[in-house]
Amino acid sequence: MRVMDYLATRAGRATRIVTLLLVVGLARIVCPALAHSQAGGPAPGIPDIAALPHATMTFDAKQGQLILDLPPADLPASGAGGMAMVSSPVYQADVPASCTIHSSRASVLDSAGRELPKVFLHHVHLSDAGHRDLFLAGTLHLLAASKETPSVAVPALILGLPVTQGQRLITWSMLSNETPIAHHGVHVRMVIGCRPVTRGMFGSWFPLFRAYPWVMDAMFPNGRRPRSDRSFDLPPGRTTHSWESRPAIPGDIVGIGGHVHDYAVSLDFTDVTTGQVIWHVTPVRDSAGHVLDLPVTRFYNWHRLGVHIDPSHRYRITVTYDNPTAHVIPEGGMGSVAGLFIPDRGTRWPDVNIADPVYQQDMLELFGSDSGGTMAGMSGMKR
């Protein structure tokens, strides 16, 4: 464990975090809250995934649960007016049994196995090292949780994210301690509801749909990882950021939600090829411009599965801010959309292409130095 022990700025800007939780299910945290690496120095390169240290993943067939346990860490007490942060290395974890994921819950356990308050969990991530993301050539991000993330679930017989025995996943976490008490041997556990792949006449019918999480960020392809920075400065007045890409495979988007900070005025997801605005949302704000809520949209009903997207089209995320103050708000803006995606029948989820520069950048960011840095705005975040 590398330990970063630094002070969080108490008087940070009032950054409202709208937790991204889709009505249809799987949540992802999208606010890294961490600023840039300051240590500098050469990138350490991309290590061999197969040589990474292991996290433990077991399968409880009776309960239909994958249990992921990251190795324990020591959590120092917070300093005066600030919190201690501990960032884990990246671990590998092999899937012990084939199943379809339909729920997840993350917790932090002490050395005696007792659950600690959720506030200790800054974030935990689980990715598929061998498959790419829908819109980005980096690794497929499966699950994430933070202290704001409630347990999430989708109907197990209708939707499920398939994983197969022996599939290699990667996981990493960050813990935070705001208390003056050090905790030793603390570890992160994810309990992942995963329906066993059953044989027999009807066993293979369920779940009815394979569902994968997807995300687009206005700062892609940069700063995808929680250790890097996806926020941007807000000068006075209007600021717009956008990013566009093609999905790797065709399918249906069945739900969409987003994440913005204060002074955001709109977030859009557009089919650039046809000009159709698939999703336009205006954050619910108070009179001072603070974001109170960001509505989530479902694209399915009794006669329609979702919005079909196709690799022959380009899609764009656009976030717009209007900063009413007279000064630049450093790292004040973020914009991302996320949801669930159901691939067309017969399509195979694509592997990563290790020669792709975007994949290489993604891995360099994941494995890059995370020493140093500040937590500007961290404690100013509200939800």
Q: Return the number of the residue (252 or 370) whose C-beta is nearest Cu ion.
A: 370
Interaction pattern, residues 13-32, with Cu ion; x per rule: CB under 5 A: ------------------x-
Residues 284-343 that bind Cu ion (CB under 5 A): 334
Alpha-carbon gap, residue 95 to 163, rounded angstroms = 7
Q: Return the number of the residue (31 or 337) whose C-beta is nearest Cu ion.
A: 31
Q: Return the number of the residue (100 or 336) whose C-beta is nearest Cu ion.
A: 336
Q: Return the number of the residue (306 or 335) whose C-beta is nearest Cu ion.
A: 335
| 234 interacts with Cu ion by CB under 5 A | no
| 215 interacts with Cu ion by CB under 5 A | no
- Shortest distance, CB of residue 266 to Cu ion, whole angstroms? 16
| Residue 256 near residue 267, CB atoms below 8 Å | no
Q: Return the number of the residue (187 or 261) whose C-beta is nearest Cu ion.
A: 261
Residue 61, both tokens:
């067939």
- Shortest distance, CB of residue 13 to Cu ion, whole angstroms? 12
Residue nearest to Cu ion as judged by C-beta position: 31
Q: Return the number of the residue (31 or 211) whose C-beta is nearest Cu ion.
A: 31
Q: Which residues pair with 107 in a beta bridge?
A: 189
H-type helices in 262-381, by residue range?
Answer: 357-367
One-letter amino acid identity for 25? G
- Shortest distance, CB of residue 231 to Cu ion, whole angstroms? 6
* Continuous segment of H or E residues that includes residue 362: helix 357-367
Q: Which of 98, 101, 104, 103 is nearest to 198 (CA)?
A: 98
| 144 interacts with Cu ion by CB under 5 A | no
| Residue 129 near residue 169, CB atoms below 8 Å | yes
Q: How many residues does the chain have?
A: 383
The SS3 assignment for 366 reads: helix
Pairing of strands 297-298, 307-309: unpaired
Alpha-carbon gap, residue 147 to 280, rounded angstroms = 28
- Shortest distance, CB of residue 167 to Cu ion, whole angstroms? 30
- Shortest distance, CB of residue 33 to Cu ion, whole angstroms? 7
Size of the site for Cu ion (CB under 5 A): 2
Q: Return the number of the residue (343 or 377) whose C-beta is nearest Cu ion.
A: 377
- Shortest distance, CB of residue 160 to Cu ion, whole angstroms? 29
Residue 310, both tokens:
């196709």
Enumerate binding residues for Cu ion (CB under 5 A).
31, 334
